[in-house]
A and B are shown apart, each in its own frame.
Chain A
Amino acid sequence: MSKVRIGLEIHCQLTQLKSKLFCSCIANYRNRDPNTNICPVCYGLPGSLPVLNKKAIEYACMIAIALGCDMPKNLTFARKNYFYPDLPKNFQITQYDSPGSDNNTCIGKSGKLEYISDKTVRIKRIQLEEDPGRLVHEIPASQSGGNSLAYTLIDYNRAGVALVEIVTEPDFNDPKEVRLFLNKITSILEYLNVCNTNLEGSVRCDANVSIGAGKKVEIKNVGSFKDVEKALSYEITRQKTMGLHEIEVKGETRHWDDKRKITKQSRSKEEEEDYRYFPEPDIPIIKIENEFILNLSSKMPELPDQRRKRFIENYQLSEHVSEVLINHKEIADLFEKAVKIYQSPKSISNWIVSDLMGFIDYESLEGKPLNEIIKIDEKHIAELARLVDENKINRTVAKKILTQIVNSGEMPTRIIDRSELTKIGDSKTILEFIEQVFMSEKNAINDANKNPNVANFLLGKVMQKTKGNIDPKKALEIIKKKLEEHK
């Protein structure tokens, strides 16, 4: 079978900025009344001029550095001219180097990223541009009586938000690789703290696919990262089927139909695309000095790969556990904070990876910080791990406590104090229970000489009686001792 080639164009909003790319309106346009987050600049009024956001350049450069890109000496912007009702000026300010030119005026060029061991993708280009507004094609059925409208509603609140576009070379051969890569990119953006990737629409992805010598097909409008894999799989199957029937694949743009989960031919491209790029005259050439890059590099937050390495080296964690921890920055942060309180990286990482993470559904986070969904922080985890390690409670009890903390945010010791879950620790009380069992299980005790399993059987009975609230190790010790006495 011929080789599948997939390339990606990822758009991520710099959601951590305070203002838009070219004006001082709020970058966080979400949950606002329509057209209330606008000014002459982002609304595209006559006479307004773009005023470049310094921090946006810094953030975009951090992404370029993290992806190992060549940085430009002179940064320039260009106009991409096309009409569309969500574009206030009917052109988009973006970056552009004509194909084939050696010029490097975009935020980054020719980078690469190892997204899993031994798999590397080349980054073609990284550029900074403005987001358009949003079109509402239909108003809710409740208001319109279910009829679609004879017009479109436009909200320009999003217009002008800073967007970084990451373009990869067609280096993926499988949709699964794409998913792993997207996870990696998401994690990097989180670590750089430039984009809250959990916010709806903050990261968008277009893809292109070609098989063998076939034409390249672009897939747009994929709403979520999960669907990228689906859309690609669908498209590959479609193209392969066409190949089997000896139908030629057209070079075209297809849209992902979210409801039917298929790609559809776009109708909108009635004319040949001719964007008439030219240098944006209202923005000067921005000099990027070496010093700026060096300074930025030195201030860069630790990246996922660096952190994983450090976790393995400093905390003696396994490759797998480290990988799971570092994947989400908030989780890795939680781990490190907990380790500061209780210095047992092994048990803390165990609690986080095998128990706590079961409570987190990243899809439903919707951009909210972790501690708004689960009421747990490093103090809880540290204490829980310590209590178990010190045999104050056993794992089963601890897991029950964890379930409660997630909902209530109470400290483990408080839950223990309040409930009957207190572990029976003193030998005297344990002995009392054991004696009771010895009384009722005389037959078993008589078998003890022949059957070595009797001790464990008795322990089970004791645990039953105490509802598991004793230290089994200690109990077993006492049981064995008592059986010895019986001989």
Chain B
Amino acid sequence: MISQEDLHHISKLSKIHLSEKEFEIYSMQIEKIIEYLDKLDEINLNESNDYKISITKNICELRNDVHVPFTGNFKRMRKNDDEGFVKGPKMT
């Protein structure tokens, strides 16, 4: 079950504003989706068949510490440029 507070919390955490109407629709849909995911609850985490699912590498395979300048052009994405700084909303 996903409560009203849960969805408020999620909306705040993900920084997505929801209108009242949206709130209603999403809480219904997400409830159904989460219910479907509850199927996973049958799985026992303690059962030991931990098959490796991630790629593993050795340290020697990693990048060497050298400076390589980026040669591409950033100009086209400076929509909020202020003399080289990026302009963002105020903090307080």
Contact = CB atoms under 8 A, between A and B. Distances in A.
Contacts of A284: 54-57
B79 interface: no
A54 B85 CA distance: 31
Contact of B84 (A24, A34, A135): A34
A69 interface: no
A156 to B, nearest CB: 7
Chain B, interface size: which category?
20 to 34
B15 interface: yes
Secondary structure of the A side of the interface? loop
Nearest to B57: A284
Nearest to A274: B13
B70 interface: yes
A156 B84 contact: no
Given A152-B89, A267-B92, A289 B58 contact: yes
A6 interface: no
Contact of B90 (A56, A74, A152): A152
Contacts of B60: 54
Interface stretch (B18-26, B33-41, B43-51, B61-69): B61-69
Given A54-B62, A54-B63, A153 B87 contact: yes
Contacts of B82: 151, 153
A286 B62 contact: yes
Given A18-B66, A18-B67, A136 B85 contact: yes
Given A38-B70, A153-B86, A287 B59 contact: yes
A51 B63 contact: yes
Contacts of A272: 9
14 contacts: A17-B65, A18-B67, A19-B65, A33-B84, A53-B62, A56-B65, A74-B56, A85-B88, A135-B91, A151-B88, A151-B89, A152-B91, A286-B56, A288-B59
Question: Which are the 6 A-B pairs with shortest beta-carbon distances?
Answer: A39-B70, A55-B65, A153-B85, A24-B68, A54-B62, A284-B55
